[in-house]
């Protein structure tokens, strides 16, 4: 092997080691990100991952799909933005989102136990942050407390304990404690505690965790129902103001039901458009009212 070949090989080894070390260090630095996902959310998943990729190590916890694995997993472009990937055991047999949510968070807490990162940020794969730089402000709001969520108990809406699990920032050690507590009501399953938001609220109360209440609560907990006269989603509280948080999955559904204009084209994964959304392609391209009305009727 001549000297030029030796030099090229040495340079390649140096670059390989740099990348390996950077990826390893990422697990222990910044904020560990947990993205909860299932196959139907892939339509917005690329946009979600792009919005949180710079926080730190990105872990995706994925529902075990009902159909073929080769057609129900994220595509390679998404995997380039994912640092770790867990596909949990099938949970579809149980109705509703609560039981699958528990396993999403449980597996995430177990996986991140070995990380030296102090905080965990959770978001669903059908949501995005249009202002991810706002995470520093959210972290400052949290301070030395245990957790801060996108919304928490509002006396006008919630009669009992409540903490929104759609998106939150939490100390890693508190996340582990939270899930260990909630696990006691899932194995075996106990229905009396209600949905995940109720279970979060109960755990926070019983564990006496220090929860920071966001300065501005959203108008409603799904972040998808309130719009202005220009069809912009409004009154999204602190999570919306500071992080630019949007629940795209909810918006997509409600905008069609309320006969509004669709979400911006840039947020859609075009390969995941379903047959009922084919009219959106014409709407984005030609802005024809009949295309919009055809989508509303699907």
* Measured torsion, CA atoms of residues 33, 34, 38, 44, in degrees rounded to the nearest 10: -30
pLDDT: which is higher, 192 or 199: 199
Token duo for residue 117: 């990162």
Provide CB contacts within 8 A for 216, sequence distance 6+. 237, 238, 241
pLDDT tens column, 50-107? 999 999 999 999 999 887 888 899 999 999 999 999 999 888 777 778 888 999 999 9
Provide CB contacts within 8 A for 78, sequence distance 6+. 42, 45, 46, 49
pLDDT of 6 over the 60 cut? no
Domain ranges of the chain: 3-267, 268-298
pLDDT of 229 over the 80 cut? yes
Task: Please tell me the least confidently modeled range out of 116-120, 231-235, 242-246, 276-280.
Answer: 276-280
pLDDT of 208 over the 70 cut? yes
Token duo for residue 92: 């579809």
How far apart, in whole angstroms, are the C-alpha atoms of residue 113 and residue 173?
8
Residue 11 pLDDT level (bands cut at 50, 70, 90): low
The pLDDT score that the predictor gives to residue 144 is 98
Provide CB contacts within 8 A for 204, sequence distance 6+. 146, 147, 161, 163, 178, 211
Do the beta carbons of residue 102 and residue 196 sit within 8 Å? Answer: yes
Q: In what order do the strands lie in the sheet with 211-212?
A: 84-87, 58-62, 31-37, 119-124, 167-171, 147-149, 211-212
Q: Which fold has domain 3-267?
A: Spore Coat Polysaccharide Biosynthesis Protein SpsA; Chain A (3.90.550)
pLDDT tens column, 273-290? 988 888 999 999 988 899
Q: Buried (b) or exposed (e) across 111-140, using 16+ Cβ within 10 A?
A: bbeebebebbbbbbbbbbbeebebbeebee
pLDDT of 292 over the 80 cut? yes
Residue 13 pLDDT level (bands cut at 50, 70, 90): low
Residue 9 pLDDT level (bands cut at 50, 70, 90): low
Percentage above 70 pLDDT, the chain? 92
Give the residue from 88, 77, 86 showing the smallest Cα distance to 47: 77
CA 7 vs CA 10, 20, 144: distances in Å: 5, 20, 50
Token duo for residue 262: 């669709």
Q: Strand (E) positions, the chain?
A: 31-37, 58-62, 84-87, 119-124, 127-129, 147-149, 167-171, 211-212, 245-247
Q: Mean pLDDT for the chain?
A: 91
Provide CB contacts within 8 A for 192, sequence distance 6+. none
The pLDDT score that the predictor gives to residue 17 is 64
pLDDT: which is higher, 188 or 226: 226
3 state DSSP class of 59: strand
């Amino acid at each position: 092997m001549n000297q030029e070949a030796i030099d090229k090989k040495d340079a390649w080894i140096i670059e390989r080691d740099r990348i390996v070390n950077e990826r390893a260090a990422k697990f222990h630095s910044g904020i560990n990100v947990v993205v909860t996902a299932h196959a139907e959310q892939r339509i917005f998943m690329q946009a979600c991952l792009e919005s949180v990729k710079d926080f730190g190590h990105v872990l995706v916890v994925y529902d075990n799909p009902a159909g073929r694995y080769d057609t129900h997993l994220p595509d390679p472009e998404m995997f380039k933005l994912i640092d770790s990937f867990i596909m949990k055991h099938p949970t579809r047999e149980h109705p509703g989102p609560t039981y699958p949510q528990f396993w999403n968070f449980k597996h995430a807490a177990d996986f991140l136990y070995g990380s030296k990162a102090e905080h965990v940020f959770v978001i669903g794969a059908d949501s995005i942050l249009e202002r991810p730089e706002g995470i520093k402000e959210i972290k400052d709001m949290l301070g030395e407390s245990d957790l801060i969520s996108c919304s928490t108990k509002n006396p006008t809406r919630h009669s009992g304990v409540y903490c929104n699990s759609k998106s939150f920032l939490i100390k890693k050690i508190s996340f582990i404690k939270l899930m260990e507590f909630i696990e006691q009501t899932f194995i075996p399953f106990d229905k009396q505690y209600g949905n995940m938001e109720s279970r979060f609220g109960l755990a926070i109360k019983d564990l006496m965790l220090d929860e920071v209440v966001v300065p501005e609560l959203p108008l409603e907990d799904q972040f998808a129902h309130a719009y202005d006269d220009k069809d912009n989603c409004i009154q999204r509280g602190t999570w919306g103001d500071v992080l630019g948080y949007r629940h795209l999955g909810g918006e997509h559904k409600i905008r069609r039901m309320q006969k509004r204009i669709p979400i911006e084209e840039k947020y859609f994964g075009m390969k995941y458009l379903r047959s009922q959304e084919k009219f959106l392609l014409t709407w984005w391209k030609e802005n024809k009212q009949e295309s919009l009305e055809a989508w509303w009727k699907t």
